[in-house]
Amino acid sequence: MLEKFEGIIVRTTDYGESHKITAIYSREAGKISAMARGAKKTNSRLASVSQLFTYGYFLIQTGRGLGTLQQGEIVSSFRGLKEDIFKTAYASYIVEMVDRSTQDHEPNPYLFELLYQSLHYISEDYDAEIITNIFEMKMLQVLGLYPEMKRCSLCGATEGTFGFSIKENGLICHRCIHKDPHYLPLSQNTVKLLRLFYYFDLNRLGTISVKPETKKELKKAIDMYYDEYSGLILKSKRFLDQLDSLRDKL
């Protein structure tokens, strides 16, 4: 059966001398895998529509097994993502996380919109590091992870000075930090941003300006949480960390 999907290419794998297997995250049906026959040939009509990050409409012959990509209509190639190695690295991390966190044919329109908006903002020269942090915080619920971000995870206090506790799964106030000797001290601006990233609507994103020291705290807190709870080991994350380390030395 021929079906049309609005989607974004989140993975491509070479198959044989001339074919590709594509993973498309669609609005209607979640992730769909499809063979793009001849897509590696430069004169193929599928060559451009089967590129990583491509957003468009895809006509797929579906069945019990692997589908076949028949044709595609590009809405955006997110060209800006491919013109800068850091943008490419952040975008690659985002699409790999979506790919590794989802099963085929499990619709999640919220995740599709989150994916689209994140790639769009990075492509449009928003701060790629901060967009990725927002994406990571919003992906937690997709992964079934729900840190306590509104109040102290131990006493429930909403006022005070807060740090972050991996052990207690969320924020921890100054009255309770003695109960977790390994809690992560954070500036209150970082706490505010973590909370904001977790709850706010990405469509309402405005101008972003975050100090380097705050970025380091955000990265440390988010990385620690993912390392402890997500179970994800992503190649793109290792490459991204290496790039960030190199950039810090320049």
Residue 8: count other Cβ atoms within 10 Å of its Cβ: 24
Burial 163-200 (b: 16+ CB within 10 A, else e): bbbbebbbbbbeebbeebeebbebeeebbebbeebbee
- Which CATH code fits 2-144+230-249? 2.40.50.140
Helix (H) or strand (E) segment spanning residue 129 = helix 128-142
Q: Where are the beta strands (DSSP E) in 110-203?
A: 162-165, 170-173
Instruction: Sketch the domain layout of the chain as residue ranges.
Output: 2-144+230-249, 146-229
Q: What is the pLDDT along the chain (250 residues), one digit of tens a residue?
A: 899 999 999 999 999 999 999 999 999 999 999 999 999 998 999 999 999 999 999 999 988 889 999 999 999 999 999 999 999 999 999 999 999 999 999 999 999 999 999 999 999 999 999 999 999 999 999 999 999 999 999 999 999 999 999 999 999 999 999 999 999 999 999 999 999 999 999 988 888 899 999 999 999 999 999 999 999 999 999 999 998 888 776 6
Tokens (6 digits) for 201: 């609507």
pLDDT value of residue 136: 98
DSSP codes joined into one string, the chain: -EEEEEEEEEEEEEETTTEEEEEEEETTTEEEEEEETTTTSTT-TTTTTTSTT-EEEEEEE--SS-EEEEEEEEEE--GGGGSSHHHHHHHHHHHHHHHHH--BT---HHHHHHHHHHHHHHHTTS-HHHHHHHHHHHHHHHTT---B-SS-TTT---SS-EEEETTTTEEEETTTGGG-TT-B---HHHHHHHHHHHHS-GGG-------HHHHHHHHHHHHHHHHHHT----HHHHHHHHHHHHHHH-
pLDDT value of residue 250: 62
